[in-house]
């Protein structure tokens, strides 16, 4: 077995790999960028190597720096985790040339299966059903658009390299093809370093079912059952489970055999996942599934497979990379109960699932489910990397019990600071349709309102509690300093005797709630001060956390963020009005579609911002004329920062 490992990744997967490696007696080496100097995965390992700037291209995706790190630290092997360079054949080849064992398949196998078009050709030759589409070499935009018309809409545009939904675009109409292709190519280049795409027919009501396979260098290949990953948002999986609802032993054997043939076709060794799309309009059946791609790496959702098999797949990866045979035969692989995994993301379901960044003020996970996380309280969620904060995995004898356990665990999960999808996930776990197995990859998009993923408006009671706690902090600070400002002990507003020359003594306090301006009413009576936002007094069923000059209030799984506005700022706010276009999250400006002086229509695309490896288009909030553009292409922007100003057409 290897004496040491360099983990060429970050976050929760780096922590996960380090845990198994240490148990196996290896010395662990972390790598980190400038944005991750104090990250949990760095603290988890025995030593760490600095790669470079936050931009992944200069750090986690830099083959030269990673090889240098492995050489300088004396690592015997390199584990790529998932994402970044995990499916990069050049990286696997560079490791081999440097005398480093790559904990994954060979460069040849990655090239064969890493390119989806090549993989589909191999599968077609092996008799495995594939989705109709174009997987060839010609990549001209006009030609690809003609192939899409031949295939018939709707179609999917998919990067030929990589996976995880990056760059994937569904196109419903011929007129929308050009813009979708441009975006898919741009994201594919950014995420995988390749601009090649393929075009596929979109399968109606698709279910995403994948088979976990394992192979060694001695010719042994087995599968470790299936995972259903149909619950997706923007082509990103958020809940995965095994066994798949409605799966029969006969169909499992058939799909497993097809996956094994896929691995044998390229001389595969290591962990891999063969992904299929199934027709979700009817029950799962032998003639209703098609090969879509093979991921030549460990998957994010591997813990559900570990739960039902009792295996450590990372340990198996190390053993296979060290030349050992697989520990089990196919008939020895068990399937015990049901497991479900939920991915917790730093995002706002009530605002189109926009990524959320910032420092984690408080963090607490339940102890009765498996938790995989790469952060702790005090760490920051940055705009540079994937927004996943943690994974929760529940295991039980039956599916209903596993979903109940996961929902209860999500209820008890506490994350303060960035917004998260925790409450959304809990609602999803309790959805009747999901529990009945009536799901496909479009389920979430069709049920956003029912799942609570629509704007809710200000929670007045939560905001009032936040104001109350902030005033208490200000009063205590003023008392300690002897100041008569900020509601201190010498302020007339700090008096609690109820004396007033006429009427009830009340003060309108300007506040900021979730980034928007609001007002709190503070009244003083003989019983003390009372705070209301709207007509709501402070919530009694919520928890408030103070961080600097802000209060974060958790109530019913939702977070409300409250700040005090001083009177001067409130009365002299900038007059930008509704024409101010601000960055909805931290990120980088990829494109600007307009110029100063240009007239724009309401809803017209203005700019594209990239954050957490995803693109977000900003649209004009009003009709008018672009009077100011505050940023250029390539600029880093902060949440709430000005992008441009549009002057109202009526007032301009």
- CA–CA dist 281, 3 (Å, integer): 51
Task: Say how far apart CA 551 and CA 564 lie, in whole Å.
Answer: 9
Distance CA 30, CA 53 (A): 16
Q: 3-state DSSP call for residue 57?
A: helix
How far is 381 from 378, CA to CA, in rounded Å?
Answer: 10
φ, ψ of residue 479 to 5 degrees: the values are -65, -40
Instruction: Output phi, psi for 264, to 5 deg.
Output: -65, -35
Contact of 7 with 37, CB cutoff 8 Å: no
Taken in order 262, 280, 188, 635, the sign of the CA dihedral is negative
Strands 236-242 and 338-345: antiparallel
Q: Spot the catalytic one: 111, 196, 227, 297.
A: 297
Task: Give catalytic status of residue 297 as yes or no.
Answer: yes
Spatial separation of the C-alpha atoms in residues 360 and 417, rounded to whole Å: 5
**How far does the chain reach from its first CA to its final CA, in angstroms?**
72
- Residues 643 and 637: beta-carbon distance below 8 Å: yes
Is the CB of residue 372 less than 8 Å from the CB of residue 11?
Answer: no
DSSP per residue, 573-616: --TTGGGEEE-SSSEEEEEE---TT-EE-TT-EEEEEEETTEEE
Q: Are 626 and 648 in contact (CB under 8 A)?
A: no
Neighbouring CB atoms inside 10 A of 507's CB total 13
293 in Cβ contact with 275 (< 8 Å):
yes
CA 458/CA 460 separation, integer angstroms: 6
Helix (H, G, I), strand (E, B) or coil at 33: strand
CA distance 637 to 254: 50
Q: Smallest Cα–Cα separation from 614: which of 236, 133, 179?
A: 236
Longest dimension (CA), the chain: 92
Counting Cα atoms < 13 Å in the Cβ hemisphere of 255 gives 32
Say whether 247 sits in a helix, a strand or coil: coil
Contact 391, 331 (CB under 8 A): no
What whole-number distance in Å separates Cα of residue 466 and Cα of residue 374?
29
List of residues 6+ apart from 578 with CB closer than 8 A:
621, 622, 648
Q: What are the catalytic residues?
A: 297
């Amino acid at each position: 077995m290897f004496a040491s490992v360099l983990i060429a990744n970050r976050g929760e997967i780096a922590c996960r790999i380090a845990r198994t490696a240490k148990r196996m007696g290896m010395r662990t080496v972390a790598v980190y960028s400038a944005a991750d100097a104090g990250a949990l995965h760095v603290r988890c390992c025995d030593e760490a190597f600095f790669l470079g700037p936050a931009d992944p291209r200069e750090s986690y995706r830099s083959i030269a720096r990673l090889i240098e790190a492995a050489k300088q630290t004396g690592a015997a092997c390199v584990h790529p985790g998932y994402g970044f360079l995990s499916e990069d054949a050049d990286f696997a080849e560079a490791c081999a040339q440097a005398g480093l064992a790559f904990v994954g398949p060979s460069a040849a196998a990655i090239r064969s299966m890493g390119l989806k078009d090549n993989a589909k050709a191999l599968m077609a030759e092996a008799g495995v059903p594939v989705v109709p589409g174009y997987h060839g070499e010609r990549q001209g935009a006009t030609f690809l658009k003609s192939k899409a018309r031949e295939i018939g809409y709707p179609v999917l545009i998919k990067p030929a390299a990589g996976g995880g939904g990056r760059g994937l675009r569904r196109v419903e109409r011929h007129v929308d093809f050009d813009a979708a292709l441009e975006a898919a190519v741009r994201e594919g280049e950014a995420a995988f370093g390749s601009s090649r795409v393929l075009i596929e027919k979109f399968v109606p009501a698709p279910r995403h079912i994948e088979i976990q396979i394992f192979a060694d260098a001695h010719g042994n290949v087995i599968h470790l059952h299936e995972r259903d990953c149909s619950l997706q948002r923007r082509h990103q999986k958020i809940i995965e489970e095994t066994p798949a609802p409605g799966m029969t032993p006969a169909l499992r054997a058939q799909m497993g055999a097809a996956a094994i043939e896929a691995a044998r076709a390229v001389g595969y060794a290591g962990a891999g996942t063969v992904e299929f799309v199934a027709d979700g309009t009817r029950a799962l059946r032998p003639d209703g599934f098609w090969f879509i791609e093979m991921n030549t790496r460990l998957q994010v959702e591997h813990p559900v497979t570990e739960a039902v098999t009792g295996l450590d797949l990372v340990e198996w990866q190390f053993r296979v990379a060290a030349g050992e045979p697989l520990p089990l035969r196919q008939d020895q692989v068990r399937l015990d109960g049901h497991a479900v995994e939920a991915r917790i993301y730093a995002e706002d379901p009530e605002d189109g699932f926009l990524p959320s960044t910032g420092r984690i003020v408080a963090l607490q996970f339940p102890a009765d489910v498996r938790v995989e996380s790469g952060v702790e309280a005090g760490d920051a969620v940055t705009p540079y990397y994937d927004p996943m904060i943690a994974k929760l995995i529940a295991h039980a004898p039956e599916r209903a019990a596993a979903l109940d356990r996961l929902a209860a665990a999500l209820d008890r999960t506490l994350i303060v600071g960035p917004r998260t999808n925790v409450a959304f996930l809990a609602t999803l776990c309790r959805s009747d349709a999901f529990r009945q197995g009536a799901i496909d990859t479009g389920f979430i998009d069709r049920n956003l309102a029912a799942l609570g993923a629509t704007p809710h408006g200000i929670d007045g009671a939560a905001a009032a509690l936040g104001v109350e706690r902030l005033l208490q902090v200000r009063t205590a600070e003023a008392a300690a300093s002897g100041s008569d400002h900020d509601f201190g002990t010498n302020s007339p507003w700090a008096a609690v005797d109820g004396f007033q020359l006429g009427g009830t003594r009340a003060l309108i306090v300007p506040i900021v709630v979730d980034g928007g301006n609001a007002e709190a009413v503070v009244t003083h009576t003989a019983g003390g001060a009372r705070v209301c936002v709207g007509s709501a007094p402070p919530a009694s069923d919520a928890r408030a956390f103070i961080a600097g000059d802000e209060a974060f209030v958790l109530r019913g799984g939702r977070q409300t963020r409250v700040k005090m506005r001083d009177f001067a700022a409130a009365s002299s706010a900038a007059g930008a009005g509704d024409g101010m276009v601000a960055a909805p999250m931290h990120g980088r400006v990829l494109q600007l579609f307009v110029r100063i002086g240009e007239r724009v229509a309401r809803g017209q695309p203005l700019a594209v911002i990239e954050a957490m490896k995803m693109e977000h288009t900003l649209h004009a909030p009003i009709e008018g004329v672009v009077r100011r553009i505050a940023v250029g292409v390539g600029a880093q922007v902060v949440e709430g920062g000005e992008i441009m100003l549009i002057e109202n057409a009526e007032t301009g």
